[in-house]
C-alpha cells in the first residue's frame, strides 16, 4: 500500500516482479477469469492484472475508498467494501457496476463463503458483521461482534466465520448456516500452553502473565480459573490418573490439577525453568522439561514425586512421546539438537542435529515420524523411525507450536512472528492453507474426537478454534479407545449378571 505496488513472489520465494498499482489496499485472485484484482484505496478504483505478463489490463471505478474485496467463484462478481461510504460495491468481472449495497459504519474487510454462498463484511466502527446474499445482493443479517472488528476469515469446508476484534482482543465465531454468533472467546492474560482432556471434554489453558489455568467446557465457556505457580507455560493431560500437569517456569515446580474438583493437589519441585511437560501414556510417568537446568525431571504418577533427573542438551524446551518405539524426544533450543531418551533406562541414548532453536515437537502415529519445530530457522525437521532427519519444511516467521491432527492427517504450525497457522498435509508434505489467527500464537492442541484444533494466542489473550480442513475421518488412533471398549464390555457383563440374579430371586420368592 505505501509503496503503491504489487510484488510477485515465485514458488522459490523470490520476488520476480513489482507491478505499480497506486493506493493498493487489497488483492484477490479470480478463479472465474484467471486474473488478479487489486483495490486502490486512495484512487477509488480497481486494477485488473494479467498474472502471466504482470501487466494491468484494465482500471475501473470501485466506489469511494475501496478497502477490501472478495470474488464469487461461480460468476466472477466482485464485492468491494467502501470504507468511507459505508457501502459494498458489486461489479461484474469486466468492471461494470451491478449494485451498491448499504451496510453498517466503516466496512473494512470482506470475504466470500462458498458453503453459504454469502459475503461477510466487518464493519469496524459499528462493531458488526453484515451478511450479504450473493444471489439476491441484499443484506440478510447484521450480527453484533466485539469492538472494532477488523480481520475476517472462513475455512475451506466448515460453516464458521472467525472475526478478529481489535479493541476487545478476542475472536468472534459466526455460524454461517444460521448467521448467528456462536461465541467470543477471551482467555486471560498471556495464554501459552494448551491441552485437551478427552475424558471430560475440557480444554486447559495456561496464562503466563496472571498465573492461572483457565478451564473451558465442551461449549468453550470458561468454567473455572485455577491458581497455580508463577509463569505457567507447558501443560499436559495424563490419562493414567486423569490429572493435568502444569509447568510453572518462574517457581521451578509442576502443579498437579484434579479435573474433577478443579483444584491443585500438589506442587512438585523440579529443575530450573520448567517449560514443557511430556506424558508417557503407557505408564503415566510425567517428564518435566527444565530449560534453565538442562535436564528432565521424571515424576512417578503413583505418588507424584520426582524419582530421577536426566541431563539433556542445552536449553531443552519441550518434548514428545513416540508410541511406536516408546522413546521420548526432547528439543534442545540452545544446542540445536534433539535428545532421544529411553524411559526404561532413564538416559539419553542418542542426539540428532536439527535446525536452529528446536523447541516444540509432535508425533505422527500413521508414519511413525517426529516433527521438530525450529524457531530460529523457521523450519520443521522430520525424523523417521530410524532416528534420521529425512527432510525439512519451511514454516512462517517464528514458529512456536506444532500439533498433528489425525482427523485430517495434517500438521498445524503456529507462527508467532506472522500471527498465522500453517496447515500442512502430512502425506504429501505440502502446504494446504495459511490461516490468520490472534497475536503471537504460541502453543496448539487437538480434540481427538472431532479434529478441532485450538491455538493459544499469547499477546491477544485469545484462543482460536479451527475446524479440520477435511471432514473425512480416515484412520483414527486414540490411546483411550481400548479402555473405553473394555469399560463398555465390562458394564454390559455386570448389567447382565444383575438382571439374571434379579430374575432368579423373583422366581424363588414365588
- Does 343 share its domain with 225? yes
First to last CA, the chain: 91
- Does 34 share its domain with 143? yes
Cβ partners under 8 Å of residue 281, min gap 6 = 238, 239, 240, 321, 323, 479
- Does 343 share its domain with 368? yes
Tens digit of pLDDT at every position of the chain (510 positions):
666 888 888 776 678 888 999 989 899 999 999 999 999 999 999 999 999 999 999 999 999 999 999 999 999 999 999 999 999 999 999 999 999 999 999 999 999 998 889 999 999 988 899 999 999 999 999 988 877 888 787 744 457 787 776 665 566 778 777 767 666 566 666 777 888 888 888 889 888 888 989 888 877 778 888 999 999 999 999 998 999 999 999 999 999 999 999 999 999 999 999 999 999 988 899 999 999 999 999 999 989 999 999 999 999 999 999 988 889 999 999 999 999 999 988 899 999 999 999 989 999 988 889 999 999 999 999 999 888 999 999 999 999 999 999 888 999 999 999 989 999 999 999 998 888 888 889 989 898 888 888 898 888 778 888 877 643 322 222 333 333 444 444 555 556 655 665 555 655 554
Q: Which of 181, 210, 244 is the last residue of a domain?
A: 181
Q: Round to whole Å and give the CA distance between 418 and 402.
A: 15
* Domains of the chain: total: 2
- Does 32 share its domain with 123? yes
Q: Round to whole Å and give the CA distance between 318 and 46.
A: 48
Q: Which of 181, 200, 231 is the last residue of a domain?
A: 181
Cβ partners under 8 Å of residue 74, min gap 6 = 32, 117, 134
Q: Round to whole Å and give the CA distance between 466 and 451.
A: 9
- Does 127 share its domain with 199? no
Residue-range definition of the domain harbouring residue 111: 5-181
492 found inside a domain: no
Amino acid at each position: 500500500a505505501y509503496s503503491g505496488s504489487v510484488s510477485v513472489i515465485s514458488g522459490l520465494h523470490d520476488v520476480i516482479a513489482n507491478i505499480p498499482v497506486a493506493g493498493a489496499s487489497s488483492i484477490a485472485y479470480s478463479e472465474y477469469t484467471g486474473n488478479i484484482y487489486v483495490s486502490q484505496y486512495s484512487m477509488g478504483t480497481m486494477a485488473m492484472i494479467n498474472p502471466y505478463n504482470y501487466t494491468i489490463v484494465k482500471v475501473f471505478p470501485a466506489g469511494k475508498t475501496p478497502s477490501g474485496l472478495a470474488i464469487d467463484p461461480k460468476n466472477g462478481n466482485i464485492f468491494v467494501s467502501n470504507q468511507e461510504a459505508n457501502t459494498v460495491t458489486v461489479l461484474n468481472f469486466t468492471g461494470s457496476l451491478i449494485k451498491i449495497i448499504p451496510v453498517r459504519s466503516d466496512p473494512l474487510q470482506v470475504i466470500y463463503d462458498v458453503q453459504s454462498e454469502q459475503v461477510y463484511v466487518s464493519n469496524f466502527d459499528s462493531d458488526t458483521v453484515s451478511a450479504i446474499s450473493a444471489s439476491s445482493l441484499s443484506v440478510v443479517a447484521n450480527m453484533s461482534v466485539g469492538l472494532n472488528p477488523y480481520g475476517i476469515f472462513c475455512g475451506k469446508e466448515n460453516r464458521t466465520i472467525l472475526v478478529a476484534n481489535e479493541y476487545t482482543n478476542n475472536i468472534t465465531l459466526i455460524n454461517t448456516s444460521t448467521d448467528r454468533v456462536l461465541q467470543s472467546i477471551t482467555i486471560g492474560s498471556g495464554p501459552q500452553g494448551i491441552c485437551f482432556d478427552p475424558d471430560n471434554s475440557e480444554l486447559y489453558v495456561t496464562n503466563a502473565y496472571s498465573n492461572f489455568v483457565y478451564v473451558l467446557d465442551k461449549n468453550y465457556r470458561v468454567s473455572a480459573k485455577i491458581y497455580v505457580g508463577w509463569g505457567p507455560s507447558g501443560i499436559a493431560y495424563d490419562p493414567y490418573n486423569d490429572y493435568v500437569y502444569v509447568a510453572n517456569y518462574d517457581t521451578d515446580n509442576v502443579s498437579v490439577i484434579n479435573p474433577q474438583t478443579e483444584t491443585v493437589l500438589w506442587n512438585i519441585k523440579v529443575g530450573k525453568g520448567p517449560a514443557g511437560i511430556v506424558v508417557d501414556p503407557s505408564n503415566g510417568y510425567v517428564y518435566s522439561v527444565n530449560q534453565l537446568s538442562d535436564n528432565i525431571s521424571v515424576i512417578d504418577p503413583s505418588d507424584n514425586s520426582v524419582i530421577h533427573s536426566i541431563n539433556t542438551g542445552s536449553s531443552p524446551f519441550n518434548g514428545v512421546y513416540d508410541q511406536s518405539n516408546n522413546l521420548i524426544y526432547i528439543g534442545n533450543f540452545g544446542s540445536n539438537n534433539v535428545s532421544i531418551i529411553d524411559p526404561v533406562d532413564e538416559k539419553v541414548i542418542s542426539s540428532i542435529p536439527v535446525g536452529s532453536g528446536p523447541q516444540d515437537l509432535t508425533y505422527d502415529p500413521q508414519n511413525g515420524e517426529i516433527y521438530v519445530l525450529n524457531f530460529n530457522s523457521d523450519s520443521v525437521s522430520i525424523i523417521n523411525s530410524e532416528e534420521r532427519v529425512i527432510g525439512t519444511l519451511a514454516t512462517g516467521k517464528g514458529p512456536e507450536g506444532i500439533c498433528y491432527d489425525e482427523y485430517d492427517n495434517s500438521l498445524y504450525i503456529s507462527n508467532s512472528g506472522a500471527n498465522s497457522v500453517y496447515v500442512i498435509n502430512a502425506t504429501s508434505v505440502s502446504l494446504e492453507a495459511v490461516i490468520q489467527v490472534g497475536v503471537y500464537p504460541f502453543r496448539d492442541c487437538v480434540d481427538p474426537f472431532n479434529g478441532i484444533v485450538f491455538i493459544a494466542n499469547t499477546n491477544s489473550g485469545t484462543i482460536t478454534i479451527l475446524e479440520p480442513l477435511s471432514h473425512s475421518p480416515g484412520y483414527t488412533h486414540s490411546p483411550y479407545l481400548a479402555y473405553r471398549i473394555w469399560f463398555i464390555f465390562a458394564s454390559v457383563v455386570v448389567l447382565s449378571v444383575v438382571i439374571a440374579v434379579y430374575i432368579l430371586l423373583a422366581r424363588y420368592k414365588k
